[in-house]
Amino acid sequence: MARFLPRRRRGFTLIELLVVIAIIAILIGLLLPAVQKVREAAGRLKCANNLKQFGVAVHMYNDSNNKIPAGWVTTASVQPVPGWAWPTLLLPYLEQQNLFANLAPDLVTPGSPTVNVYTQAPLPLFRCPADIANPLNVVVQSAPGVAMSNYVCNREVFGPNASNTPTMMSIQNVSLLDGTSSTIFIGERDSVRNVGATLIRANNTTASFEGRPGRGINIKNPTPTTTGDCTRLGFNSLHINGCNFLLGDGAVRFINQSIAADQSADACALPAATGNFPLQNLIHPADGNPILGDF
């Protein structure tokens, strides 16, 4: 009778195992950048959606009050520091009526905010998903006791002016001569490379509520936790190569950091320098300069 020998089971050799591991490592290396790009795209889209909601709220506020919300609530004789800022004014139009009622802001006199549990309330709508370095409940060092925000207004539109008196501008106002589609209303400010924005005009810096063009977008502040450098007033984000902006017509645009800006003046100037540069032109509501090319 024929003898049947048991079949030998052959396993992986060490070389084969190493080859498989190397292939898996290569595939993971190829996959990670794609995952990061998808995550960045999702974060940028969510950030744009936040700004879109601000746009709707600004227009609703304008329709109800016949003016754009003040960047910092002042009068000709009263400029409270700290003071209430534009995010507080928009709360009732962002489905935050209860928070607005609990804050009970004095917008007539106007009065100074009292730091409490309500000023510290974290609002996801005011945070960009790309800015993950600080959790929602961490307060800004320049304004302790106030919840953080990643969005700041264009003070040349929202006001107050350089004398800290209200501008009283409206969507339909003739002072918006350049048109709402060519004027920035709100832009981004990250809390890592710059001074993060807040719900109020803070004690020691207007960067808490406003943004200025300076010498460009995404310029790193060398001293982000202090107020000694006007770079703190710039627009910047943790997105790749640019920032999201809300224009006056409600459109949200991602503006590349390569956009031309005036290099002769920093962000300290208010109003910003009047040279014919696209970034400055988008900030000025009535400079009469056309926005040439795509931005």
Query: Do residues 205 and 224 lie in contact, with contact meaning Cβ atoms separated by under 8 Å?
Result: no
Burial 2-32 (b: 16+ CB within 10 A, else e): eeeeeeeeeeeeeeeeeeeeeeeeeeeeeee
Kindly list the domain boundaries of the chain, sorted by start residue.
18-283
DSSP string, 261-288: --SSS-TT-SSPP-SS-HHHHHH-SS--
- Interval 184-209: pLDDT, tens: 999 999 988 777 788 899 888 899 99
> Does 145 score more than 90 pLDDT?
no
Rounded Cα distance, 200 and 291, in Å: 32
Q: What is the arithmetic mean of pLDDT over 142-164?
A: 90
CB atoms within 10 A of CB 49: 14
pLDDT at position 273 is 86
Q: What's the whole-model pTM score? A: 0.87
Q: Which is more confident, 33 or 291?
A: 291
**pLDDT class of 280 with cuts at 50, 70, 90:** very high
> Does 10 score more than 70 pLDDT?
no
Rounded Cα distance, 126 and 147, in Å: 9
Rounded Cα distance, 7 and 130, in Å: 58
> Does 278 score more than 90 pLDDT?
yes
- Interval 20-67: pLDDT, tens: 788 888 877 776 665 555 566 677 899 999 999 999 999 999 999 999
